[in-house]
Amino acid sequence: MKDRSPARLVFNVANHILLLFLGLICVLPFIHVISISLSSAVEASANRVLFWPREFHVFAYEWLFRKPEIWVTLRNSLLRVVVGYCVNMVLILITAYPLSKDNNNFKQRTAYVWFFFFTMLFSGGLVPSFLIVKYTGLMGNFLALIIPSAVQVWNIVLMLNFFRSVPKELEEAAFLDGAGPIQTLFNIYVPVSLPAIATISLFVVLGHWNAWFDGFLYLNDIRSFPFQTYLRSMVASTNMGGITNMLEIEDILKLSDKTVKAAQITLGAVPIFIIYPFLQRYFVAGIVIGSVKG
């Protein structure tokens, strides 16, 4: 029977108001940015745009999509997400599986777990990371965006904790049928671990898509930049740049630096808003289940 006491009612109302307030704090800034990107240069420059476009138009997006660098860097980012995701997930799965065993089956498990966990607490820092990339010949190479972050310890911890919650009887039955460790991992553990895999997939995809700093550090040519690095360089600049013909000179009358930057920020966030709804139903379950056992 539900508690209908006045105290419970007050708590529910206060809880809903608080959650609504927190939700608005998260959503309204993004709505504001979208509204600026869809407003005229005059209205945006005068700071008269709040949460609804004023003098609606899409000139900022038209101007951006005419720049070839947008499409090249977008392709670079999509390639980075696909390759990085495959590398990360394979390493996460094949590392988490043996580390999820108890000490009777894997006597050195504790030492390896602490070896990985230590890297979460202490890192070499920016300069050693840069020197490693430089002296391994990865400077200016696409792989410089993939290899340094190939082993993601936090995601390995989540995955091994989920694996420890899988009934041991499933693995024993697979071994009795003649399956080896690799077969057991990909035929037994992976299919029953979809919530955790979906959750970690979201972390991995977000990490690769949003990363921009490593592109600045390790890549020299702007056409090899990932999308976020290119957008960051444009947003950080003091003008729109690249105005070389009469058509773009005419565009300057319709655009402002503010509307273009708002459009760039919106473009950078759109793919995540597309991907997240497909993984959201797994997200909470994966995090909760993956944190039950240590």
* Residue 247 covered by a domain: yes
* Residue-number span of the structural domain to which 220 is assigned: 59-290
Spell out the residues 6+ positions from residue 24 whose beta carbon is closer than 8 angstroms to its own: none
* Residue 9 covered by a domain: no
Mean pLDDT over each residue of the chain, to the nearest integer: 80
How large is the average pLDDT for residues 269-273? 77
In tens, the pLDDT along 1-36 reads 456 777 788 888 888 899 899 888 888 888 888 888
**Nearest residue to 54 via CA among 66, 67, 40:** 40
pLDDT at residue 28 in the model? 86
* Residue 28 covered by a domain: no
Confidence class for position 66, pLDDT limits 50, 70, 90: confident
- pLDDT score of 51 more than 70: yes
* Residue 264 covered by a domain: yes
CA 194/CA 204 separation, integer angstroms: 15
- pLDDT score of 64 more than 90: no
Confidence class for position 288, pLDDT limits 50, 70, 90: very low
How large is the average pLDDT for residues 137-162? 88
> Global pTM?
0.75
- pLDDT score of 178 more than 90: no
| SS3 per-residue string spanning 73-85 | HHHHHHHHHHHHH
Domains identified in the chain, total number: 1
- pLDDT score of 112 more than 60: yes
- pLDDT score of 105 more than 50: yes
What burial letters (b/e) apply to 182-212, b meaning 16+ CB within 10 Å?
eebbeebbbeebebbbbbbbbbbbebbbebb
> Which tokens sit at 187?
């035929």
**Nearest residue to 66 via CA among 255, 269, 258:** 255
Q: Give the Cβ contact number of residue 250 at 10 Å.
A: 10
* Residue 91 covered by a domain: yes
How large is the average pLDDT for residues 218-236? 81
- How does DSSP assign 186-239, residue by residue? IIIIHHHTHHHHHHHHHHHHHHHHH--HHHHHH---GGGS-HHHHHHHHHHSSS
How large is the average pLDDT for residues 173-189? 84
* Residue 29 covered by a domain: no
pLDDT at residue 128 in the model? 86
pLDDT at residue 284 in the model? 54
* Residue 153 covered by a domain: yes
- pLDDT score of 221 more than 50: yes
Confidence class for position 293, pLDDT limits 50, 70, 90: very low
In tens, the pLDDT along 229-261 reads 887 777 666 454 444 454 455 555 566 667 777
Domain CATH for 279: 1.10.3720.10
CA 234/CA 236 separation, integer angstroms: 5
* Residue 25 covered by a domain: no
CA 206/CA 81 separation, integer angstroms: 9
